[in-house]
Structure 1
Amino acid sequence: MNADHADPTDPADRTLSDRVRAAVDTVDAPDVVFAYSRHGRRTITTGGTGTAPETPRAELRYEIGSASKTLTMLLLADLAARRHVRLTDPADAWLFPPPATSLGVPSGTRRARRVQSSRPPHPGPVTLLHLATHTAGLPRLPRDFYRQAVPRWRSNPYAGYSRDRLLAAYARTRPRHAPGRRWRYSNFGAALLGPVLGAATGTPYARLLPHRLFGPLGMTSAGVLPLGPGTDAVGHARDGVTAVPPFDTGEGFLPAGAVRATPADLLSYLEAHLRPHAGPHADRLRTALLAVQRPLLDRGIRHRHTHTLAWVRHPSPYGPLYFHSGATTGQEAFLAFQPDTGRALVALATRRYSARTTLTQAAYGLLTELP
């Protein structure tokens, strides 16, 4: 176990460490990390069924998959707070603006006219809020995605899917229902926010994250590309033995799942949500950190699932619990925080998500059962 700020002589801290250790031991994966924080006091516990890597597990960067969307939505909230965009802006206004389309082709050219004229009529404008909350009526993935993805489904199905291809697919897609009427999880919709935010700032999405989020949040090792051998955790297939290559979202899907970060980076990220008014991030991100915690819609049986701009919110005996999970072809992540108790938890594993996984169950249980 690696501990930061925890006091091994304190009975309460020892009990907590034992509970976290027990949770780690239930996860059947080569590498497992649980990073827990309460009011800034951290306990980072590592384990796994595989041989410990040369670089300590707590210091590796992990792929967080769809949990990357929470950073994309925080970035959206920040740009909205600074009036670069409005959540009610039609997505088309940013993705296909005159006199040039975001494909980089002047609107008067034959190619641009063909793209725009082939676009089916929408039943209503798709807004940035619809894209962020999975209510745009878009499918999970573009129709043309599967043809190129199937041959490498178990390695890197997203690799090679470009930004231009994403926009062309959106230009051909008609929402399946009126935007705002129904929740339907969509990597497609979340990915479209990358070109939107890039157009609003004149800066590509991959450069926006380090400048506007990683720096202010103190995420010193986070990134969207591998940094080289010995830095990133190695993912594994479902057998828990076979190593898989680093996950590649392709340029088109960066906003939906490209972030890699250390456990300490991710704790800093969650702790900022717990204390939006304090710390080096406060002046820069306070408004956005509060905005992404506001409830926006309910769904599910008895409306159990409450969604904010970035998070899923569940009730618990100790106050609302905000969380988001994510998975790549070789790794899994679960991020959660509980404002009423000042607690945050990062759970990471180097194994592909499956219906039998225990990572999310163990992590969720810690925050809902611990007093």
Structure 2
Amino acid sequence: MDALSEDLELLPATRRALRHRIAVAQSEGRAPSLVAAVVRGGEVVWEGSRTSVEGHGPDGNVQYRIGSITKTFTAVLVLRLRDEGLLDLSDPLEKHLPGTGVGEVTVAQLLAHAGGLAAETPGAWWERSPAALRPELADVLGEEPFKHVPGRRFHYSNPGYTLLGSLVEALRGKPWEEVLRAEVLEPLGLDRTSGQPRAPHAGGWAVHPWADVMMPEPLEDLGLMAPAGQLWSTTNDLARFAGFLLRGDDRVLSAETVREMRTSAVPSEPGIAESGYGFGLQLATDGTRRLVGHGGSLPGFVAGLWLSEADDVAAVVLANCTSGVPPMTVAGDLVRIVAEAEPRFPEPWRPFEEADRVPLELCGPWYWGTSANVVRLRADGSLELGPVGATGRAARFRAESDGTWTGLTGYYAGETLRAVRREDGSVSHLDLASFVFTREPYDPEAPVPGGVDPQGWRGIG
């Protein structure tokens, strides 16, 4: 076993802390059973469970219903369609799924819950009533489908993901679950994830809020609402899915596209500043740690899958109770325990491999007006621009074939960085989104907007 493989194994104290956290969650949440897993470096490094049944505990192969984590799977299918060129995220729904009555909503707005649609379906609570009550999309949307102007704000919408599932079916010409199995589940090896429960699986329970008694919850097929919450899965499968959400898999989605899923696509919900939503993924903060994932609940079950990209740690928590266990909190705590007890080792420093292409003339200090910045070349060929002090605009840039650089992050994302050269080929200045960066503050030899005082720098006298 090499050193990196050894580093994946958790220390006994860390494992005990994880066991203690889920023991508290199961006891205080009064869950009939709870099962959890932690992923680090793409591998499951810890599994645990607690149960009310003496001498018995679920393992990573037992299915639980995962509720709205299903939405993340549906989003993956939609982004596959985009990457294949079959749709654009700015397309109105009407272009691909006509006749819904909400066709002006865009695909991106639906993915990010920004379409202004109602949170739930009209009529009986859809999670506890037969799908036969909603045989058509009109039954899912109702007579007044909009609660807000599309694109104005985040408003979580289960019917919105029903529309995305129907969009997948319309463009693939096959049922949503069949497409999901062929294009996501089978390539990723998620053979214990399914639309209907398959043994061994947990039963769903409602625990009385004021007494230690419980009753079984009804199990309904969600019909058209399936893309919003139908799936059953296991901690083993969801751990593997978490690895995919961190790294991508070119058989399903590229690393670049899953990074797009993890990027905020809509403003936070008013009053909840720490929340946000990407494409099929919830965004949250735990102190200074940024978490990405999704929670899920259906009568009898709660679920959470959360990951920290910076720490390369993910956690999955599944329980078979209608309420009581906060899966996001518990999963986030499992991530934090590992990340803080056993911080991630940085990648070894390596020099830039293509020495003949090193743009050293761009590296070093530059000044935007009087603000000191520095440009660094990284081993992956990207440029980093950042302030010398504690505050300022920082960004990373990708090299383009024409000699320019495109911003990937921060304020300058999507903007072009260009080295402007003198007649002798030397670099005069950097041009970035109309800003001129010079080798000295307000260089009189550079085309600084507004010009430079001919008397130059001087004292107060």
- If the TM-score is normalised by the length of the shorter chain, which range does it land in? 0.7 to 0.9
> 2:33, 2:58 within 8 Å by CA — same for their partners in 1?
no
Q: Which moved more, 1:55-64 or 1:17-26?
A: 55-64
Aligned to 2:206, the other structure's residue is in SS state coil
Is 1:257 matched up with 2:226?
Answer: no
Q: 2:194 aligns with which of 212, 220, 223?
A: 223
Task: Supply the distance in 2 between the matched residues of 1:349 and 1:226 (Cα, whole angstroms).
Answer: 15
Point out which structure has higher relative CO (alpha carbons under 8 A, 6+ apart).
1
CA shift at 1:16, angstroms?
Answer: 2.0
**CA displacement at 1:88 relative to structure 2:** 1.4
* Mapping 1:209-288, distance limit 5 Å: 209-227=180-198, 230-239=199-208, 241-249=214-222, 251-276=223-248, 281-286=249-254, 287-288=256-257
- Partner SS for 2:195: coil
Aligned to 2:82: 80
* Two-structure CA RMSD over aligned residues (Å): 2.7
2:148 paired residue number: 177
Q: Sort the Cα spacing of 1:266 and 1:302 in 2 relative to 1 into closer, same or farther, 3 A.
A: closer
Q: Percent identity?
A: 23
Matching residue within 60, 63, 85 for 1:61: 63
Distance 1:52 1:66 in 2: 31
Change (3 A) 1:165 1:307: same
Deviation sequence 1:40-68 (CA, Å, 0-9, x none): 24211011223566x84432111000111
Query: Is the contact between residue 142 and residue 188 of structure 1 (CA under 8 Å) also seen in structure 2?
Result: yes
Work out whether 1:198 is the aligned partner of 2:177: no
CA gap 1:19/1:333 in 2 versus in 1, 3 angstroms: same
Q: Does 1:335 align with 2:335?
A: no
The partner residue of 2:296 within 326, 329, 335 is 326
Amino acid of the structure 1 residue aligned with 2:107: L
CA contact (8 A) 1:126 1:179 kept: yes
In the alignment, the residues of structure 2 paired with residue 302 and residue 59 of structure 1 have an alpha-carbon distance, to the nearest angstrom, of 35
Specify the SS of the correspondent of 2:267.
strand
Q: 1:339 to 1:360 in 2, by over 3 A?
A: closer
Does the residue aligned with 1:215 lie in a helix, a strand or coil?
helix
Letter paired with 1:14: P
Work out which of the residue numbers 52, 64, 83 in structure 2 matches 1:49.
52
Distance 1:68 1:19, change over 3 A: same
Q: Name segments (4+ residues, structure 1) moved above 4 Å.
A: 316-319
Q: Which amino acid aligns with 2:17?
A: R
Which is helix-richer, 1 or 2?
1
Instruction: Check if 1:352 corresponds to 2:322.
Output: yes
Tell whether 2:289 aligns with 1:289. Answer: no
Q: 1:238 to 1:174 in 2, by over 3 A?
A: same
**Aligned-residue offset at 1:168:** 4.9
Asked if the contact 1:74/1:288 (under 8 Å) is kept, the reply is no
Tell me which structure has the larger Cα radius of gyration: 2
* In 2, Cα distance between equivalents of 1:197 and 1:302: 31
Bigger mean CA offset, 267-276 vs 42-51: 42-51
Q: Are the counterparts in 1 of residues 21 and 330 from structure 2 also a CA contact under 8 Å?
A: yes
What is the TM-score of this pair, normalised by structure 1? 0.79
CA distance in 2, matches of 1:344, 1:205: 27
- Alignment gaps of 5+ in structure 2: 341-461
Partner AA of 1:181 in structure 2: R
More strand by share: 2
What does residue 129 of structure 1 align with? 108
Aligned partners of 1:358 and 1:325: how far apart in 2? 9
After TM superposition, the structure 1 stretch with the greater mean CA deviation from structure 2, 260-269 or 84-93, is 84-93
**1:14 deviation in Å?**
1.3
Q: Paired residue for 1:367?
A: 335
Q: Distance in 2 between matches of 1:285 and 1:76?
A: 11
Structure 1: which 5+ runs fail to align? 1-5, 102-115
- Specify the code of the residue in structure 1 equivalent to 2:257: A
Which residue of 2 is the match for residue 107 of structure 1? none
Distance 1:128 1:35, change over 3 A: same
Give the residue type in structure 1 aligned to 2:336: T
